[in-house]
Amino acid sequence: MRASGKSRNVTMSDVARHARVSRTAVSFVLAGRSDTSVSPQTRDRILDAVRDLGYRPNAGARALAAQRSGLFGLITEIVTAPFAVDVIKGAQERAWEDRKFLLIASSEDRADMAEAAVEKLLEQRVEGLLYAATWHRAVQVPKAAGEVPTVLVNCFDAEGRFPSVVPDEIGGGRRATERLLAAGHERIGFINLDPGIPAAVGRLEGYRQALTDAGIHPDPDLVISGHATADSGYDAAGRLLDLPDRPTALFCGNDRMAMGAYDAVRERALRIPEDIAIVGFDNQELIAAYLRPALTTVALPFEEMGRTAVSLLGSLIAAGDQGKTDGQPIDTKVTIDCPLLERSSVRP
Amino acid sequence: MRASGKSRNVTMSDVARHARVSRTAVSFVLAGRSDTSVSPQTRDRILDAVRDLGYRPNAGARALAAQRSGLFGLITEIVTAPFAVDVIKGAQERAWEDRKFLLIASSEDRADMAEAAVEKLLEQRVEGLLYAATWHRAVQVPKAAGEVPTVLVNCFDAEGRFPSVVPDEIGGGRRATERLLAAGHERIGFINLDPGIPAAVGRLEGYRQALTDAGIHPDPDLVISGHATADSGYDAAGRLLDLPDRPTALFCGNDRMAMGAYDAVRERALRIPEDIAIVGFDNQELIAAYLRPALTTVALPFEEMGRTAVSLLGSLIAAGDQGKTDGQPIDTKVTIDCPLLERSSVRP
DNA sequence: CTGTTAGCGCTTTCAA
DNA sequence: TTGAAAGCGCTAACAG
């Protein structure tokens, strides 16, 4: 017989009493510990009692006693971010595998908010912190974050105090370019993001590497910097397409620019991918999947970064528990692959 | 002088000792309680001690003692959802205003996951639960959710056991149609979502109401049902545009269909908004803002729903605390306005 | 106005 | 194999 609804106040003592054993026994059984054994009989009695009473452990009390909250904190600018979701998803999943719970706090991209978030999270006694940005860049992490193991996601600490997990921009740039080369293109235009940011630097580097490796000398005229918007992509693509010896393929720094490029191509009565092949970057589903033809693009591995970051955080914490914190900053920078998603804007 | 880093083990007793007062005094000062007063002097001494020691309250311990976790749980299919973010954002903000923390768990749109999430959240002793869906519909809420006050967001309980916060679909449909009417259109086509779902039913109803109110008899030929995809919107728009007496405006059930409609319009060498005005629904930024011309659309008030839901949850909890839980299900259905966002696909 | 005193629900060491 | 006991850090009566 199951107990009725409200199991609010059923405590471990209740279970112990009901099963006619000590609280210790209950604790051991529930923790599934093997170091001290309990007879199968009492074990069953206890489990039955748990069920009958509808007992639900009190995580807070457990945390207090065990000095381990089982909580990880994730700070992110959830505000602007269709992206953040995937990081959260990956982190969430990985955390559950470790039976950890993720406390998510929004930094709103404001230093004071981020600081408040860290503070709040620390009050909850999170065992570690994840700090995620919506776009790959250097960030200023609130000082207090140093009090627990912290991993940066899709961003890095300029001072190298924290390990981070970032996308492999260079590899992504290579992959996009190689796909175009494989389709037989040799004059490949590149519409880059605002110069200087890690994504622009890396993708350009990848683009160059791929061309060079293919024995093609990168033509500077085919590289233009834009501003990450559809309009900017439209303009840049227009200029590239109006070149005397125009490219037969366009690698766009992101999907929004690719969206603009589509318009420029269409205006010139050219077809995609027959006349002009296009590859984007970011895999913004809403754009890439719904453009016509659907856009072949390189994906940013947000989910994977979230997963990896939690794994890394777990190791750091474990290392710390064993007293391995030697105080020196762990300047790890884990790089995650950016896979290419085939759709229809490049011919097979 | 600030203490050095690790304030991990600074406890309230430490603060009390340092300030030469009792723990009670510290507790009172930190809780900012007025019922028992503390002399300004001791107050300052305490605050100084807190600062000097780098004391940070232990939320878990506080929860245990006070029997209030200060935690709300939010369950959502974060998986599929560019939308979920906004609900989270609104809820998050509102929760912080009440100094509550949001525990976010993903249901992944699977019943067993949702159940596990509720269970985990209850173990954390959340004071209340929010259950959010990515699209407006009836949902099956895990039974255990009944153990604490629960509010549904963007969905509702078929059995009416839980209060819910949903978008005003009818109002949104009216608003879109009225905008088109205001621009002088009289033959307005409506490309609806899959029939039967609340969004389709409501928006159609709003469309009809607006027309009728304007003295126009809704022409059934101008209403077509699609499937919420760009392709479907493309097809439906094509059929509408090829009608002998074709509409001069299109109200699309969502932005993706509007995206497809754009293509159909373009193919016929018609201009937006000069020849055909278009209004979408959902305000999927990535689509609406980047289409050319940018899409005028009705927004789903996710953020506002999140905020409202948390407010409502707060009241429910407060009511419960005062013993006002009279057991009977509170069949509240709060409806939130869907605002129209002007862009450029309808002439002023 | 301040301090004493019980717990909150659980873990874990140490004896029995 | 099981049980007693001592906290974990904090709140909230209740006395002083």
DSSP secondary structure, A16-72, as one string? HHHHTS-HHHHHHHHHT-SSS---HHHHHHHHHHHHHHT----HHHHHHHHT---EE
Count other C-beta atoms under 10 Å from residue B55's C-beta.
Answer: 20
Give the pLDDT confidence of A165-178 residue by residue, as tens digits: 999 999 999 999 99
One domain for residues A160 and A307: yes
One domain for residues A177 and A260: yes
Write down the residue that tokens 């009836």 correspond to.
Answer: B138
Whole-angstrom distance, CA of residue B236 vs CA of residue B229:
11
Q: In this complex, how many residue pairs, one in chain A and one in chain B, have their CB atoms less than 8 Å apart?
A: 119
One domain for residues B228 and B110: no
Task: For residue B82, list chain A residues with Cβ-Cβ distance below 8 A.
Answer: 82, 85, 285-286
Whole-angstrom distance, CA of residue A261 vs CA of residue A239:
10
Of B214, B207, B209, B206, nearest to B182 (Cα)?
A: B214
Of B83, B10, B144, B122, nearest to B304 (Cα)?
A: B83
A227 class by beta-carbon count within 10 Å (0-12 exposed, 13-18 middle, 19+ buried): middle
Task: For residue A233, list chain B residues with Cβ-Cβ distance below 8 A.
Answer: none
Give the pLDDT confidence of A124-146 residue by residue, as tens digits: 999 999 999 999 999 999 999 99
Whole-angstrom distance, CA of residue B49 vs CA of residue B29:
12
One domain for residues A123 and A94: yes
Q: Does residue B51 belong to any structural domain of this protein? A: yes
Whole-angstrom distance, CA of residue B87 vs CA of residue B105:
13
Enter the tokens of residue B329.
């299900």
Indicate yes or no: strand D within 7 A of the C-beta of A38: yes
Kindly state whether A8 is in contact with chain B, defined as any CB-CB distance less than 8 angstroms. yes
Whole-angstrom distance, CA of residue B172 vs CA of residue B188:
16
At A150 the pLDDT is: 96
One domain for residues A35 and A15: yes
Enter the tokens of residue B75.
């369950």
Domain hosting A16: range is 5-57
Q: Does residue B218 belong to any structural domain of this protein? A: yes
Higher per-residue pLDDT: A206 or A23: A206
Burial A61-94 (b: 16+ CB within 10 A, else e): bbbbeeeebbbbbbbbbbbebbbbbbbbbbbbbb
User: In this structure, what DSSP letter does residue B269 have?
Assistant: T
Task: Report CB contact under 8 Å: A82, B82.
Answer: yes
Kindly state whether A123 is in contact with chain B, defined as any CB-CB distance less than 8 angstroms. yes
Strand order in the sheet with A277-282: A223-225, A188-192, A249-252, A277-282, A296-299, A340-341
Count other C-beta atoms under 10 Å from residue B160's C-beta.
Answer: 13
Q: Does residue B65 belong to any structural domain of this protein? A: no
Q: Does residue A246 belong to any structural domain of this protein? A: yes
One domain for residues B50 and B84: no
Alpha helices in chain A (DSSP H): 12-19, 23-31, 40-53, 59-66, 84-97, 111-123, 169-182, 198-213, 230-241, 255-267, 285-288, 302-321
At B244 the pLDDT is: 97
Of A206, A176, A169, A171, nearest to A297 (Cα)?
A: A176
Does A324 score more than 70 pLDDT?
no
A281 φ, ψ to 5°?
-155, 140
Task: For residue A57, list chain B residues with Cβ-Cβ distance below 8 A.
Answer: 123
Task: Report CB contact under 8 Å: A230, B292.
Answer: yes
Half-sphere exposure of A315 (CA within 13 A, CB side): 9
Does A329 score more than 70 pLDDT?
no
Q: Does residue B347 belong to any structural domain of this protein? A: no
B195 class by beta-carbon count within 10 Å (0-12 exposed, 13-18 middle, 19+ buried): exposed
Overall number of domains in chain B = 3
Whole-angstrom distance, CA of residue A257 vs CA of residue A232:
6
- Point out the residue among B7, B59, B78 whose CB comes nearest to the CB of A85: B78
Q: Does residue B64 belong to any structural domain of this protein? A: no
One domain for residues A19 and A88: no
Find the helix or strand (DSSP H, E) in which B338 lies. none
One domain for residues A183 and A330: no
Give the pLDDT confidence of A110-125 residue by residue, as tens digits: 899 999 999 999 999 9
- Give me the torsion for CA of A21, A25, A30, A36, rounded to 10°: -150
Kindly state whether A125 is in contact with chain B, defined as any CB-CB distance less than 8 angstroms. yes
Q: Identify the CATH number of the domain in which residue A310 sits.
A: 3.40.50.2300
Task: Report CB contact under 8 Å: A124, B230.
Answer: no
Indicate yes or no: strand D within 7 A of the C-beta of B3: no
Q: Identify the CATH number of the domain in which residue B51 sits.
A: 1.10.260.40
Does A1 score more than 60 pLDDT?
no
Nearest CA to CA, how far is A119 from chain B (Å)?
8
Task: Report CB contact under 8 Å: B59, A124.
Answer: yes
Amino acid at A345: S
Q: What is the torsional sign of CA A260, A264, A267, A270?
A: negative
Indicate yes or no: strand C within 7 A of the C-beta of A23: yes
pLDDT in tens, chain B (348 residues): 333 334 357 899 888 888 888 888 888 888 876 655 677 788 888 888 899 999 999 999 999 998 999 999 999 986 666 777 889 889 999 999 999 999 989 888 889 999 999 999 999 999 999 999 999 999 999 999 999 999 999 999 988 899 999 999 999 999 999 999 999 999 999 999 999 999 999 999 999 999 999 999 999 999 999 999 999 999 999 999 999 999 999 999 999 999 999 999 999 999 999 999 999 999 988 789 888 899 999 999 999 999 999 999 999 998 875 544 454 556 689 999 999 999 999 999
Give the pLDDT confidence of A272-323 residue by residue, as tens digits: 999 999 999 999 887 898 888 999 999 999 999 999 999 999 999 988 755 4
In B46-65, the residues whose Cβ lies within 8 Å of chain A are 56-61, 63-64
B48 CA to D8 C1', in Å? 25
Interval A2-27 mean pLDDT: 75
At A31 the pLDDT is: 81
Kindly state whether A99 is in contact with chain B, defined as any CB-CB distance less than 8 angstroms. no
Q: What proportion of chain A, given as a percentage, has pLDDT over 70?
A: 92
Kindly state whether A7 is in contact with chain B, defined as any CB-CB distance less than 8 angstroms. yes
At A29 the pLDDT is: 87
What Å distances lie between residue B127 and B37, B157, B317, CA to CA?
A: 29, 20, 7
Nearest CA to CA, how far is A324 from chain B (Å)?
16
Indicate yes or no: strand C within 7 A of the C-beta of A58: yes
What's the whole-number average pLDDT of chain A? 90
Q: Does residue B62 belong to any structural domain of this protein? A: no
One domain for residues B94 and B191: no
Whole-angstrom distance, CA of residue A304 vs CA of residue A311:
11
Q: Does residue B348 belong to any structural domain of this protein? A: no
Does A335 score more than 50 pLDDT?
yes
B70 CA to C13 C1', in Å? 32
Whole-angstrom distance, CA of residue B57 vs CA of residue A17:
34
* β-strands B101-106, B71-76 pairing: parallel
Whole-angstrom distance, CA of residue A20 vs CA of residue A36:
18
One domain for residues A289 and A184: yes
Half-sphere exposure of B347 (CA within 13 A, CB side): 11
Does A327 score more than 60 pLDDT?
no
Whole-angstrom distance, CA of residue B87 vs CA of residue B133:
10
One domain for residues A128 and A192: no
At B4 the pLDDT is: 36
At A37 the pLDDT is: 65
One domain for residues B29 and B111: no
- Point out the residue among A63, A230, A287 whose CB comes nearest to the CB of B60: A63
Kindly state whether A329 is in contact with chain B, defined as any CB-CB distance less than 8 angstroms. no
- Strand C bases, protein C-beta under 7 A: 1-5, 7-14
In B21-50, the residues whose Cβ lies within 8 Å of chain A are none
